[in-house]
Structures are given as structure tokens and as C-alpha cells.
Amino acid sequence: MSGYETLEYRKADGVAFVTINRPEVLNALNSTVFRELKLIFDEMSQDEEVKAVILTGKGDRAFAAGADIRELQKCSFLEARRFALRTKVTQQTIASFTKPVIAALNGFTLGGGLEVAMCCDIRIAAPHAKFGQPEINLGFIPGGGGTQRLARLIGPARAKELVFSGQMIDASRANEIGLVNKVVPTADLMAEAEQLARAIAGKSSAILELAKVAIDRGLEMDLDSGLQMEIELWGECYATEDRDEGIAAFLEKREPQFKGK
């Protein structure tokens, strides 16, 4: 997979590495980035070799410091709305991706950058990473999920604090409020993300997909409905070869050899 203008891509041992490659503008997200992110996630969804994905930014200054303001400055009302609708399609592609996605946050993760990071399943941050929804400082509100996914992740009061103030928080505070899963030394960031990705890639891809569906859809339901859905998906596990292999491996005291079936 090659030929991307704003992304770098490689894969090894079941793990795909996608890097937003615009370090000269702190990996700011423009129309091309969003278009190429959708393309690459669509391609990876069809690649059976990919079991887990790590998404990060080029360099050590930013994951993505927000949307490309110079591009947005030129937009009319209709153009801005179309831009937001296109970004939603890309973000939903990432959020609904059937394989686990880990965001390795290596610096500024602001505005649209934070919105993309929140579409990932797991977020690991370097200590110098900064987080925020600064759109209010520019005269508009977040338009890529910053008022919706953020409130669901950290609660409405904390989300309002960030959205209303436009202030940044550091990695320690982001970890404290549950915006990121953990903070690790900068030098260890990619190794930590890769270690976790490889551990996940060793599980059954079929069962991982069911687990992700159960959690994500369950959040949109009342508890009783979510519990019933969980039972149905749990039952589906019994229709897979990997469930049989997992039980057999446990009883035989060996490592399971999952096939994703």
C-alpha cells in the first residue's frame, strides 16, 4: 500500500502502522488527510494480515494539532458544512473499524486531532502531549465529535470545561480524567503501543470484533438492552472455530492457535 500524500504506512506481524505525515504544520488535518485516512482504513479492513492498527503522527511534536485552519478560513458556509460531513465519514470509518485501533499520542492532540484520537479504541500518550478543544478561541464549536465523543468519554461537566474554555490539559490530567489509557515515557511510546497491539493481534479476530461491537453498541443502549445484546453476542462465540480452539487449548494447557473463524 503506497502512494499516499499525507500518510505513511507499514505493517509487520499482524500490526499496521499509520502515521499522519505533515510534521511541518504539526500534522494539521486537511481534506487530503481525511480522504486518505478513510481510504487506508477501508483497505486495511479488507486485509486479513492486519489484526490491529497503531495510528500516530510524524515527529515528536504532534499527533495532530487540529484541523488545517488555513483551509477552513477560505470556506463558505456550505463548504464548511461539506468538510464537516466528510470528516464525519472518515471518523466513523475509524470508530466502526472492526479491528482494534490504538492511538499513540506523541505531542499536541488538539481540536480535530483529539476528535480523531477519540475514534480510536485505546489512547496511549507521551508525557509532553497536550489535549484540548480550542475551537471556541477561533469563534466556532467543535464540529467533528468534540461535543459528543468527549462528553461520553469523560462526562459532560469535564467536556464542557474543555469546550467552553478552549484550554489545554497535559497528559497527566488527561490520564486522570480517562481521556487516555496511560502515559508512558516518550522514548517508550511506540514500543508500548506496539507491545499492546501485538498482544491484541494474538487473540481471535472474530471474537475481538464481537467484543468491540458489544461495548460500542452497548453504550448507546439502556443497561438491560445492552446486557441482552451481550448474551446474544456471547452465544455467537459458540458458533466459531476459535471458541472451540480456545477451550481446547486451555484444557490442554497450551497456547491457542486462533484462525479468526
By annotation, the residues acting in catalysis are: 115, 135
Which residue from 257, 220, 216 is spatially nearest to 233, judged by alpha carbons?
Answer: 216
Alpha helices (H) along the chain: 31-45, 69-73, 77-95, 112-118, 149-154, 156-165, 171-176, 189-201, 205-218, 223-237, 241-251
For the record, the C-alpha cell of 114 comes out as 483529539
Contacts of 199 (CB under 8 A, 6+ apart): none
Nine cell digits for residue 193: 503501543
> The cell 499520542 sits on which residue?
105
CB distance 180 to 171 below 8 Å: yes
SS3 labels along 98-126: CCCEEEEECCEEECHHHHHHHCCCEEEEC
Rounded to the nearest 5 degrees, what angle is found at the Cα of 17, between the Cα atoms of 31 and 217?
A: 75
R_g of the chain computed on alpha carbons = 19
The widest CA-to-CA distance across the chain, in whole angstroms, is 65
Side chain identity at residue 217, one-letter code:
R
Spatial contact of 146 and 91, defined as CB atoms under 8 Å apart: no
